[in-house]
């Protein structure tokens, strides 16, 4: 039985896990999670898959894992790929995953959701603007870290790159102008040039177009 990833196209955290599986050459199957239909809030989902009511969820035989960073770590353990070569690099990969989850993707995901996936009359503009202001600081950190570098850790793509890029390929606006950050722009081009790379809506089922 192959690996299953419970995910949906709009989820940047799901994309991190899906991209990690794809670039590692894993045999995996995406299983659509109807987030906008309330599936993750259902008793069955929380009982059978994830008590936290979130996606992604990785099911690999008897192993069930949640949280994209944990899933990425497992994929690295299983395949020996993208986790960093030296002990110092492995720690640096983990550092970027923790930073991304706490200071980057969390803010982007919320801002993108508020700007694109709720009715315009209910959008809290002050919160959106506050988030966008905070994100400018994070873009600055990421852009500076990529000065003179092709990837965040070492000389090849790692899970540090896959976690931090998770939301930056989405077409929906959330206040990110890729051209304003030349090192990030170059880095995203490097990632998308990696053999096997696919954009979020090409890699996972579900997109805004499916609901219109």
Residues 25, 47 share a domain: yes
Determine how many CB atoms are found less than 10 A away from the CB of residue 147: 8
Q: What is the pLDDT of residue 212?
A: 73
Both tokens of residue 86?
């030296």
Residues 179, 135 share a domain: yes
Q: What is the pLDDT of residue 211?
A: 84
Q: What is the pLDDT of residue 71?
A: 98
Beta partners for residue 5, in sequence order: 30, 58
Q: What is the pLDDT of residue 61?
A: 95
- CATH number of the domain to which 91 belongs: 1.20.1050.10
Predicted structure pTM score: 0.96
Residues 202, 154 share a domain: no
**Residue span of the structural domain in which 98 resides:** 87-192
Q: What is the pLDDT of residue 189?
A: 98
Residues 92, 66 share a domain: no
Residues (pLDDT < 70) of the chain are 1
Residues 181, 166 share a domain: yes
Residues 113, 74 share a domain: no
Q: How many domains does the chain have?
A: 2
Q: What is the pLDDT of residue 1?
A: 55
Distance CA(17)–CA(13), nearest Å, equals 7
- CATH number of the domain to which 33 belongs: 3.40.30.10
Both tokens of residue 65?
């894992």
Q: What is the pLDDT of residue 200?
A: 98
């Amino acid at each position: 039985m192959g690996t299953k990833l419970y995910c949906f196209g709009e989820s940047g955290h799901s994309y991190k896990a899906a991209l990690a599986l794809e670039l590692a050459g894993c045999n995996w199957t995406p299983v659509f999670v109807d987030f906008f239909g309330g599936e993750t809030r259902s008793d069955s989902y929380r009982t059978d898959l994830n008590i936290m009511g979130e996606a992604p969820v990785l099911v690999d035989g008897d192993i069930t894992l949640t949280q994209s960073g944990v899933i990425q770590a497992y994929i690295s353990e299983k395949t020996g790929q993208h986790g960093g070569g030296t002990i110092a690099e492995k720690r640096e990969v983990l550092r970027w995953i923790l930073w991304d989850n706490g200071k980057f993707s969390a803010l982007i995901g919320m801002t993108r959701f508020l700007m694109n996936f709720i009715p315009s009359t209910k959008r809290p503009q002050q919160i959106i603007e506050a988030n966008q202001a905070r994100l400018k600081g994070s873009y600055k950190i990421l852009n500076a870290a990529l000065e003179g570098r092709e990837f965040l850790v070492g000389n090849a793509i790692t899970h540090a790159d896959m976690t931090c890029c998770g939301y930056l390929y989405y077409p929906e606006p959330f206040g990110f102008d890729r051209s304003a950050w030349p090192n990030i722009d170059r880095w995203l081009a490097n990632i998308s040039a990696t053999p096997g790379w696919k954009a979020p809506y090409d890699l996972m089922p579900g997109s805004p177009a499916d609901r219109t």
